[in-house]
Amino acid sequence: MSLADRVKQKRIELGLTQADAAKLAGITQQSWQSVETGDTRKPRNIIGIAKALRCDADWLMNGGAFMPMAEVNSRRVPLISYVQAGALADKSPIEAFDGSLEYILTDLDLSEHSFALRIEGDSMEPDFKAGDVIIVDPEVEPVPGEFVVAKNGGDQATFKKYRPTFTDAMGCQHFELVPLNDDYPVINSSLQPLVIIGVMIEHRIYRRKR
């Protein structure tokens, strides 16, 4: 059995289309198709392909012993919109408003409701640029200087640096959400309702288009 045969066999076993599998692996459908037809015998993203197929990359390339997904220690995290993230402040389940969700693969030890966001705008430049992806865990409590996703009074969420300010007489912790770009204002929980949704635990930077 060849690499092409093993890839196709595992994809069919998992009930995935080529488009679905390619999205999980982070490659194009055309690239995936070229692997299954045997045109590509040494794919550059073999790790991503293996994770999409919930198996070991060495097994895909060389055959032999099979390693299940649990041993590979990888999981899918939904890549959601800022509106979907804002709904999480009310403990609402993540809903696919258009009927589908995109997923990000990660090896991190995450809580059940962790999610990913794609950075929009330039308020967090220069460290975070539009198109970057962050992975957020709602079960992690923020500490000063960490980056958080929060609901800022509207329907959408915002991504900013967390800076606690003071604890009031009721024991409520007040804080600021600080943009890294000085052109944007600091948001203060004492002046408007803010709800921390989760803490960023991974930042992925992708190659910029030229």
Q: What is the DSSP letter of 117?
A: E
User: pTM of the entire structure?
Assistant: 0.63
Q: Report the SS3 class of residue 134.
A: strand
Q: Cα separation of 63 and 61, whole Å?
A: 6
What band does 160 get if pLDDT is binned at 50, 70 and 90?
A: very high
What band does 150 get if pLDDT is binned at 50, 70 and 90?
A: very high
CA proximity to 51, closest of 78, 19, 73, 77? 73
Q: What is the mean pLDDT of the chain?
A: 86
Tell me whether strands 115-118 and 75-80 are parallel, antiparallel or unpaired: parallel
User: Which amino acid, one-letter code, is at 31?
Assistant: S
**Digit-coded pLDDT (tens) for 69-83:** 444 456 778 899 888
pLDDT at 51 over 70: yes
Is the separation of the CB atoms in 151 and 195 below 8 Å? Answer: yes
pLDDT at 173 over 90: yes
Contacts of residue 55, defined as CB under 8 A and 6 or more positions apart, other chains included, come to 10, 66, 67, 68, 69, 72
pLDDT, residue 184, reads: 97
Mean pLDDT of 121-148: 94
Domains (range + CATH), the chain: 3-72 (1.10.260.40), 75-204 (2.10.109.10)
pLDDT, residue 118, reads: 93
pLDDT, residue 70, reads: 46
Mean pLDDT of 141-160: 91
Is the separation of the CB atoms in 113 and 126 below 8 Å? Answer: no
Is the separation of the CB atoms in 24 and 76 below 8 Å? Answer: yes
**Digit-coded pLDDT (tens) for 85-134:** 888 876 655 654 444 678 888 878 888 889 999 999 999 999 999 999 99
